[in-house]
Amino acid sequence: MSRSSLRWWALALIALAQFMVIMDTSIIGVALPRMREDLGFTPGELTWVFNAYVVAFGGLLLLGGRLSDQFGARRVFATGWAVLLAGSAAAGLAGTVEVELASRAVQGAGAALIAPSALTLLIMLFGAEPKELTKALALYGAAAPAGGTAGVFLGGVITEYVSWPWVFYLNIPIAALALIATPALMPAGGARRGSLDVAGALTVTAGLAAAVYAIVRAPEVGWASMQTWGVLGGAAVLLITFLAVQATRREPLVRLGIFRSPNLGAANLAQMLLGAAWIPMWFYLNLYLQQVLGYSAFPGGAALLPMTVLIMIGMIALAPRTIARFGPKTMIVTGLAVLAAGLGWLALIRPTGSYLIDVLPASLVAALGMALAFIPSLGTALSSARPEEGGLASGIVNTSYQVGSALGLAAMTALAAAHGADQLGDPPALTNGYSAALFGAAGIAAAAAALAAITLKRNTTPTAVQAETASTTR
């Protein structure tokens, strides 16, 4: 097999990694009622089957990126698959609530190793050829919505026709295949000498995990509760300590000067707000379809397919061409503005509405905005790093998106509940709550567009962005 063919097979594995880490957040949704019956979850504990994964994933991403730089992206990528395999096996075999939640956290830890090292490997493989880099990033980006939608489908099929443990066992053969293929497909370079900043790793991981924990817990215990603010205060202390450690260490986990790189902070802010707007939309659109329009899991998943297909086509075919013509800044701002318009349209849903009128056209507009904004913001964030900090840049951008997703979903959950989303069985009240959340998400996307227009310093051409990225990987 030629070197060129190997690279594209390697990209397929990298896209599979992105597909899997996102699928693992959505595949468990339909299985939760059966898990509650078999393992004895309380309603409050049940949410943590999702949250345990998200907290571990978001909290460990920066460490995963640094480990990728320190020990080599290929080695950390393979280690992440091994950890995901072990966590998946344990989650399927779990007989108690405690073991199930711990296993989900292990899965999240594996994802936190896979995600940043996968992006680093992508840059290593395609960064030296600018014309192919955007295509590779587009295929990588398109794997995320595909994974989210596939999770809904597969979770329903597996839960109904097999049993809920198989939503976890499904990962095992895929992880085993990835472990076999990684040595043959992935480049071996990237490791460097140096010490690991243990104090920095502990403080930032604990701080991010505490912040995400507080955010996802807040809708349940209350944003004004002492528990919420106590945990957020502890997170702030840990993150301030982390910054102090980074400023004084000779080999820090995160070189603070990286944030002085042109556009890195602005692009990561765009990714954070993109997640904060997109994930609540996906979450409440699902609820509207099922709890107001009466769709079951399978028709509900099918209703998401047009949006998912448009995102994939937009990222693979449309985004590279528009970036080439107009530049990343213009497309980031335009994409976020289009997303805001689509979310605002979706917020007009009615309790007596229909899929063809209330959902489909608006969801396609939102999907187009997501497709246009995601790739240029991701590429701009990655292109701003030094060659030896590719894993760190990947960890930062993944962390930005995941923390933004958790923050946005938690805030919109509180907003929805305040407007009636907690009144199950009352379609008008539910619709009012979901509409409020969608309007809030539209506001986030509109604010993101305005901030991107202000903070992105130059409308860098894609050739320049890719050339910068290529120069970091040669």
| 3-state DSSP of 382-444 | HCCCCHHHHHHHHHHHHHHHHHHHHHHHHHHHHHHHHCCCCCCCCHHHHHHHHHHHHHHHHHH
pLDDT given at position 42: 75
* Dihedral sign of CA atoms 267, 268, 273, 279 in order: positive
pLDDT given at position 190: 61
Say which residue the tokens 């202390």 belong to. 237
How remote is the C-alpha of 460 from its chain's centroid?
25
Instruction: Give the C-alpha separation, 274 to 216, whole Å.
Output: 18
pLDDT given at position 3: 65
Tokens representing 289 are 């379809």
pLDDT given at position 467: 39
**Smallest Cα–Cα separation from 216: which of 51, 25, 402, 61?**
51
pLDDT given at position 406: 78
**Smallest Cα–Cα separation from 414: which of 375, 441, 453?**
441
For domain 258-474, the CATH architecture is: Up-down Bundle (1.20)
**Smallest Cα–Cα separation from 76: which of 215, 178, 228?**
178
Nearest 5 degrees, angle CA 394-CA 108-CA 227? 105
Give this prediction's pTM: 0.81
For domain 1-195, the CATH architecture is: Up-down Bundle (1.20)
pLDDT given at position 413: 82
* Dihedral sign of CA atoms 451, 456, 461, 463 in order: negative
**Smallest Cα–Cα separation from 404: which of 311, 284, 277, 281?**
277
Per CATH, 1-195 and 258-474 having the same topology is answered yes
pLDDT given at position 346: 96
Instruction: Give the C-alpha separation, 58 to 189, whole Å.
Output: 26
Q: Position 154: which residue type?
A: L
Instruction: Give the C-alpha separation, 38 to 36, whole Å.
Output: 6
- What residue segments make up the domains of the chain, in order of their start? 1-195, 197-252, 258-474
Instruction: Give the C-alpha separation, 184 to 21, whole Å.
Output: 22
**Per-residue tens of pLDDT for the chain, all 474 residues:** 566 678 889 999 999 999 998 888 878 877 777 888 889 887 667 778 877 888 888 878 888 888 888 888 999 999 999 999 999 999 999 989 999 999 999 999 999 999 989 988 998 888 777 678 878 888 888 888 788 778 877 887 887 788 889 999 999 999 999 999 999 999 876 666 667 778 888 898 888 888 878 887 787 788 789 999 999 999 999 999 999 988 888 888 788 877 777 788 899 999 999 999 998 898 888 789 878 998 876 677 778 889 888 988 998 888 888 988 899 999 999 999 999 999 999 999 999 999 999 999 999 999 999 999 998 998 888 877 676 677 778 888 888 888 888 788 878 888 888 898 878 789 999 999 999 999 999 999 999 999 999 999 865 544 334 433 333 333
100 in Cβ contact with 28 (< 8 Å)? no
Instruction: Give the C-alpha separation, 350 to 217, whole Å.
Output: 29
pLDDT given at position 388: 66
